[in-house]
Every structure is written in structure tokens, then in C-alpha cells.
Structure 1
């Protein structure tokens, strides 16, 4: 029988609540496959005083243990170090990073507090799987609290080149903390190579084999596990009542014009201004497309308390307004810019309706929108995917039209190419893309990671 699984993540999908996406479903499935376990994380609530314990909920054989944050922890750990320091640096935006010793102290404190709370629930033969950049020090703090069992960590965002990572004043502390895990998983081979190079060049790591380094008096396995989706489920969503209704609503507005679609959180890493500029360039260069193509950009706001996001919102408002003012007509609006969220079923229906999926982040760990767009397509008449070469998904999806999102002219050419692509080429590209999405799906990801973790030696 497999060892009991314990999962730790910044946020947690509580029982009874709808799962926000494929990752939450995948982690719940991983716990179920192991015959039960514990999922630990932040409740999402901010309370005035620090609570010593956790609140427990149960669903079947899975226990959910949640902890709250105080206002000081929320400001320093979450908004501060996680999102004003780690997020921009890991996305190669050192210019936007804010380095504050008090924020890092809060980050350390929350990682330590969460570790001590979780250790209370562990058994000697458990397997612990920690997720993402919020909890990079949690493994080391669990070791300090006496836990010596098997532990893995998966980073969902990019890991930057060593020269960029070293900009963090606490880079050595973070690297040492990460190496307390037995297995560290990354989204792409590029991320894995970046971390290995950092450890070899900055921490004196010695290569033991293709997957393992000896560093900080430990053997640490470092591997690539590219996260996927459930493509069959997403294809069903595209055909669902919700999916069809969303496509019908938008179809009435666009009046069967060719549709270009982008769906992203409102984040400076997503390349949204460059994308709008590229679409405007298409209309500049191709008079024949004016009135015949519409661009829908769905961009729900996120982290609105962070200044960089407020500035981005203003920039997008201005860009969309200017392009529409230049080209709109009485019966046609070039850009429909929607700063709100939609359900997964609605998005699946909109993806199927679209002729072009525009996924052009400046830097992204994976970007599952690219894979969802592919899964939602009708096999007989699939849309074309324009994908940034800096999205992690580009490593797996070379049959997409790959672009440099900083090159506005090249991106405009790629959009035009996708709009005018013959159906035979669209089918051929889609068949190659969907084969990969199906082969390395979300179940493959979690099983591959846990199999490798089970194989490590503590």
C-alpha cells in the first residue's frame, strides 16, 4: 500500500466548494488514489490575532487542515515577499521587485509556523508534497521541527537564470531551504537547468547523476514535470450547455466574424499590452480585415493592492480605448476587453468558437490556457494557437505558431498567419498538439512526480 500523502499549498480547495481549476482536482485525486491523506494550507481568511491551531474538515478519507493569516502576515508574507519580491524576480522583472527585510522576516515566520502546524499531523512513513513559491522554506522548517520523512516540492512558476535569482538578497537562504526537499520539480527543462546551474556555480554542488546533485550535505533529486490538464473533461465542457450558451452569446455579438481570443489573469507577466498592440498592428497593416475580425481579451483583475497591477489596468484601459476609437464602426468593435472572470465551461465554449488562441506571456511557468484551447477545439475545424516561446508550454507544443512577445511586428504577422491558415494545416498542427496534451495530461503529471518522490532516499 502506498504511503499516506500530505499536501501543503498556499491556498486550499475546501470540501464542498467548487474546485477552481484542474490543479485542485488533480491534488484531490492524488489524495484519493493514496487512500486518503491531509491537505494543508491557508484558509484565505485574515484574522486579527494569530491562531495556534488549525481548523479541520473532512471529505471521505481526506482531511483538510486550514490556518489563517494575521493582517501583518498577509501584508508581509503574501503581498510583500511572495508577490512583490519572488513573483517579479522569478518572472525576470527585477525592475519591479521590492526587497524588504521585514517582508522576508514575515515570509520566514509563516513558513515556520505552517511547518510546525503540519508536523503535528505527520507520521514517520508519510510522504509530504509542498507546492509553489510561497512555501519554499517550509521543508527546511519541517526538518528543523523534527520531520525526517520523504518530502517533495513543485514550483509552478518559472525558475529564473542564476544571474536573475541572485538578485534576491536572500537567494542563498532560499536555495538552502529548497534543498531540504528530497525531490524538487520544475515545469520545464529550462527551469531545471537554471536551478542546477545555480547550485553548481553558487553552492558547490557535485553532480551524482543526471537527476541528482550532492549539495548542503544532502543528495537532492531535481527533475522536470510539465503540468497538464484533463483534455477529455475540457472537450466535454466545450460541448456542455454552459459552453454552448457562452459561444452562442458571443457569436451573436461578433456576427460570425473571425474571433481571436486571449484569457489571462491581469498580470504584467502575461504580455497583455504587447498583445493589444500587435492586434492593432494587424488592423494597421491589413485593411481587408477591418470589420471582419474581433479580438476578445478576458483579463480578470488580480492582486489589485500591488501598485504594478494598478498601473497595468490603466495601461490596458487606454490601449483598448485607443484601438477601438481608431477602428471601430457602428456595427463593429475591434477589441472586447473584459476585466472579469468566467467559468471554465464558458471559457471552453469560447475557445471552441475562436479561430485563433493568443497565448503570449512574457514569461510563464507553463500556461495551461494553451492546452485548454487545444483541448476545446473541434477536430474537423480547429483553431490555430499563437504561443509565446517564453511560455513553459512551448517546450511541449512546437506545432503551435511560436512568437517572441516582445516583437510586436512578428506577433502581428503570426496573428495574420493564424487567421489565414488553410484548414488542412490547422488540422495537421492540431493533431500534433492534442497528441501531446493527451499523452502528458494532469494524471500523468501527478503520478510521475509522486513515483519519483517515492523512489528517493531520505
Structure 2
């Protein structure tokens, strides 16, 4: 069996707490099966980059990490990845910052990953690069002579062509994707945007899953990521989850809870969510004192100015809403800037009558699937989901809304609170079937099996195209 080498910005070592994310669990399982290696940044900063690789093995998963210089982190991670690509790929061109230093640092760090990973690669290894931090890495490995099967998966949206062309050297960046054999996106929409760009801006051709640019044909597929549905359902009835469930229910005093769980990020639509909830309180005074919005929003990327701004803005909006509507024994918004272990989070989800997942744009959004998996089948809550989340293409029995419309959000909350049990059960069962069938293992198999077969399919497709011409 070929080894799998996963390369990503950060690695997640297995731990006994069971609080790893679903992606980490799926990749760890694949790495164990193939005796593979997970390569990434250690998260540590060194004064001078040496190329030293720190090897570790935890519960059968081997990791190889490198330290980066402070300038690398500023330009590659805080700069190009999170100030340029992240806002642009989430359709926030107004927040994207373009600087030569950022792009230079991004390419420099990708080259450092290529240089340090290259000696670890054996001829039969399969290489799987993860996410927007590492787009050009495949081309850099090809330049070093590696002919391995290589795949790339984008975990965030792919922007429309009209936005992507605002990126300096956009064609050069996209061209590096043709070093891979298979590239994956969460949804058909993101895939179609990629195809459109290649056809319109690069004069490439598309034939089903095969995309050709010059003499290079790759496969581009939609392959939505899932969660470990069974593990999360089990976590929801674990002792820590039950303890958290009871703690939350006692604090609510028979009130209905709406829950939102998001990183503190402008793509998550938190300002719009608070505005929609405020509109609900304004339009429905009969629900005052009967409902509470609990928003869990752990801080992220605090070094980036736009993230500092959103935190201060949300603090102000939450304070205004609570000031306007609170009573001495009721606060309409519980705004919490900390994270919780996955088992306790499952208990919080299970205690919530409504899951409010309203990103302005999201590659997938696994919180929506976690909320579904954590529900009591006999008395499930209702998921309100932004139609702009990748998950909306699968969870069609959620209440789908436009997060920019406070009225739609208010109406959806009202409908969810009044929804009869039989409808809640029917909607939940349909969504849970999808969450269970297309789980994290299905996603991993969907991509890696395509990658394993890629070379043969690529050769066959090329022969067919040449014959047709």
C-alpha cells in the first residue's frame, strides 16, 4: 500500500481527550492505515530558519513539523493567507490587502515546505496538500522532480472570476494548481467557479471532471467534507455532555435557547445574526423572557486588524441589544468569547431548541452538521442555515435563509419556535441521513480513491481527447 503524505499549514496530533476536529480524525485514520506522515508548521517561531524537521509519533500518527521565522508568519500566514486570500475567497474584496511582501513571503514559505518535505518523499507515496495556504506547493515539488500522485483540497470557497481577477498574478497562482492530479472543492458552485476561470481567463477546456490547460489535464471534483457523525452523536450522550446539558437547561429556567458557535470571523455573519435576532425581539415582544441567544465565538487571528474590529463591533452590538431588552432576571444574548471541548459542545447543541448557522459565505460549515448529529431523535431542535454555506447544498431540510435579511432571520426563528414535533423529527431525520451517509470517512475515501486512480484515468481521458481531435 502506498504511503499518504498530508501537507497542511498546521498538524493536529492525536490526543486522548477525543477533542480533535473531524478533519484531523479522518486524516489521522488514513495516515495510520498507510503508515503515512503529516507535515506542517509547528506553530513555533525561530530566529533563523534552518530547515530542521521535528519528528513525532502519537497514537500511530507520524508528524513532521518545521519552525518559521517571525517574518514568515507575518507575510505568509497573517499576510497573504489571511489578509489577501481569505477575504478574497470569501467574496470580501473590500477587506483584501495586496502587498508584494505578502506574496513574496507566501511563496518563500511554500518553497521552504517543498525543500524540507522533498527528502521525505518516496516514489510511490501519495501526496495530499490541504487548503489555501499551500496552493503553489505542488508545482514546487514537481520542479524538484517528484512525479508522485498529488492532490489538493480547498476547504474554503472558490471566488467568482470577476473577483479573482483582482488578485495580482492571479493566473500564475491558478496555473500552479495544474501540478496536481486531482483538486477538490466542497460544492458544485465552487467547482463551477474554478472551471469558469480556467475557460475564460486561461483558455483552458473542460470535459466533465477533466480540465485541460496546455498539455496538462487534471481532474477537478466536488467532494463535500463531513463529520464523524457516529462519534459526535455518541459524544452528545457522554457524561461530560450530559453534565453540560443539565447545566445549560438549569440556567435557562425553561426558556428556549438559540445557539451559534463560530470562530470570531467576519465571514460568519455574526453582526448580521445579532441584527436578525434584534429584529426578532422587536417584532415579537410575546417572546421576550422566553428565549435566549447563546453565541459562542472564540477569538481567532487577533493579529489581523479586521478581526480586532469585528470583536469590538460585536461587543458593542451585544451590549446595545442587552441594554435595550434585558430585565433584571433575563438577558437576551449570552455572548461568550471562549471555546469548549467537543463533548461539552455537543451537550450545548443538544440543549438548544434552535441552531443558528448564518455565515455570509462558507466553504462548508461543519457546525451545522455537528448540531444535527447532537440532537435527541425524539425531540430534535431546528437548524436555521444560511443558503450561502456549503452545507446548504446537503442539508436541504434546514430552514434556509438569506443572512443579510433581518426579516428572514426573524421569521425563521419564529417558525422554528412554533414548529410541531412531527415536522422537527421529519426534517432532522432527513438531514441526519445525509450527515451519516456522507461523513468524514466518506469524504476522505471519495478524494483519495479518485487520487489513487488518477493517473490511469488521466491517461485514458487524454487519449480520448486526442482521438476526438
User: How would you bin the TM-score normalised by the shorter chain?
Assistant: over 0.9
Residue 30 of structure 1 is matched in structure 2 by 30
Contact 2:14 2:28 survives alignment (8 Å): no
The yes-or-no answer on 1:280 pairing with 2:278 is yes
Residue 219 of structure 1 is matched in structure 2 by 217
CA distance in 2, matches of 1:173, 1:99: 15
Give the superposition deviation at 1:60. Answer: 5.8
Give the superposition deviation at 1:173. Answer: 1.5
Contact 1:351 1:357 survives alignment (8 Å): yes
3-state SS, counterpart of residue 250 of structure 2: helix
CA distance in 2, matches of 1:155, 1:341: 25
Residue 245 of structure 1 is matched in structure 2 by 243
Alignment of 1:393-404 (within 5 A): 393-404=391-402
Supply the RMSD in Å over aligned alpha carbons. Answer: 1.2
Residue 349 of structure 1 is matched in structure 2 by 347
CA distance in 2, matches of 1:160, 1:398: 23
Residue 45 of structure 2 is matched in structure 1 by 46
52-61 or 239-248: which moved more?
52-61
3-state SS, counterpart of residue 211 of structure 2: strand
CA distance in 2, matches of 1:378, 1:352: 7
Give the superposition deviation at 1:244. Answer: 1.2
The one of 359, 362, 365 equivalent to 1:364 is 362
- Please give the per-residue CA displacement for 1:226-261, whole angstroms capped at 9, x wherever unaligned: 000011111111111111111222212211201100
The count of corresponding residues between Structure 1 and Structure 2 is 455
Structure 1 residue ranges, 4+ long, deviating more than 2 angstroms after superposition: 14-20, 58-63
- Please give the per-residue CA displacement for 1:111-169, whole angstroms capped at 9, x wherever unaligned: 01101111111111110000000000100010111111100000001111111111111
Q: Where do 5+ consecutive residues of structure 2 fail to align? A: 459-469
CA distance in 2, matches of 1:14, 1:185: 24
3-state SS, counterpart of residue 120 of structure 1: helix
CA distance in 2, matches of 1:326, 1:15: 46
CA distance in 2, matches of 1:39, 1:368: 22
Q: Where do 5+ consecutive residues of structure 1 fail to align? A: none
The yes-or-no answer on 1:255 pairing with 2:253 is yes
Give the superposition deviation at 1:57. Answer: 1.3
Contact 1:231 1:372 survives alignment (8 Å): yes
Alignment of 1:177-192 (within 5 A): 177-192=176-191
118-127 or 89-98: which moved more?
118-127
The yes-or-no answer on 1:87 pairing with 2:86 is yes
Contact 1:228 1:368 survives alignment (8 Å): yes
CA distance in 2, matches of 1:369, 1:15: 21
- Please give the per-residue CA displacement for 1:312-343, whole angstroms capped at 9, x wherever unaligned: 01110011111111111111110000011111
74-83 or 229-238: which moved more?
229-238
CA distance in 2, matches of 1:55, 1:259: 45
Residue 11 of structure 2 is matched in structure 1 by 12
CA distance in 2, matches of 1:306, 1:69: 18
The one of 305, 324, 332 equivalent to 1:334 is 332
TM superposition score normalised by structure 1: 0.98
CA distance in 1, matches of 2:394, 2:96: 30
The yes-or-no answer on 1:424 pairing with 2:422 is yes
Alignment of 1:25-174 (within 5 A): 25-34=25-34, 36-59=35-58, 62-174=61-173
Residue 462 of structure 2 is matched in structure 1 by none
TM superposition score normalised by structure 2: 0.95
| Distance 1:17-1:173 versus aligned 2 partners, 3 A rule | farther
